[in-house]
Amino acid sequence: MKIIFLGTGGGRIVTVSQERHTGGIYIKGKRRIHIDPGPGAALLLKKEGLSPMETDAILVSHCHPDHYNDAEVLMEGMYLKERKPRGALIAPRSVTEGMDNIGPAISQYHQSRVSEVITAHPGRVISLGSLKVVPFKTYHNDPLSVGFIIRGDEGNISYISDTALHKSLLKHQNDIDLLILSVTRPLQSRIKYHLSTEDAAYLIERIRPKMAIFTHFGRKALKSIPELQAGWTYKKTRIKTVAAQDGMVLELKDGNVELLREKWTDF
């Protein structure tokens, strides 16, 4: 199973400036899963030699454009493989139906282009072939926002999207091999609804993955040098912690995580 970072930026300023790309995370294994395909995801798939026609599922954590922007285009690609609805969209109701002044983010027409639209209720176990996807509640200003645990034969991944720190984030986080955290803010710079470096360290210490990855950096996190933030976290937790870069590729095999490529070098 390969985990490809099609972008490591997040937040309004970085999304607009594209200081880091915002294409989300692509999992290439027995099933192909695109998580949080923000602006540029379709183009960055092409750069990586991948096609949305091969994608089996799109996972959207919440109703903000740096997490869903390219989903409709990619769902068209999924449809085009066989010229009929294929694959799944897994997302909270705010993304698919809308609530209050949030969403919906994806039109009913585009939802009809996939075989299944599955509501990401926290704790629900969703089967994608041999993979199991378990959404869990996160604490963002989309009140229905979620993270995702993906369990499979090669190992277990947890993706914690934008959230405030909360003890309930630890629920379901057993036997995690790879923990991916959206660390929008650096040390001593916590803001509402987002993780800072010390928040991430708190979670890593308790989840105890084999490797932790920081991604989804805001402007202040980039200025504070993500590698230094990851280094501080390693010293505190003694868990290998890596600051992702655009184009980074990991391999998860037999529960072990290996870095295959650090970044794209031609941007």
Please report, as a single letter, which amino acid is at residue 64.
Answer: H
Per-residue pLDDT reduced to its tens digit, 64-78: 999 999 999 999 999
- Determine the pLDDT at residue 113: 97
Q: CB within 8 A of 260, min separation 6: which ones?
A: 2, 249, 250, 251
What's the fold here for domain 2-261?
Metallo-beta-lactamase; Chain A (3.60.15)
Quote the pLDDT of residue 266: 83
Instruction: State the Cα–Cα distance between residues 227 and 251, nearest whole angstrom.
Output: 20
Residue 75 CA to residue 37 CA, distance in Å, equals 11
Q: Are strands 88-91 and 57-59 parallel, antiparallel or unpaired?
A: parallel
Report pTM.
Answer: 0.97
Q: Is the bond preceding 104 in cis, omega lying within 30 degrees of 0?
A: yes
What is the mean pLDDT for each group of 10 consecutive residues in the chain (267 residues)? 98 96 97 98 97 98 98 97 96 96 96 98 96 98 97 97 97 96 96 97 98 98 98 98 98 97 90
State how far the Cα of 210 lies from the Cα of 87, in Å rounded to an integer: 30
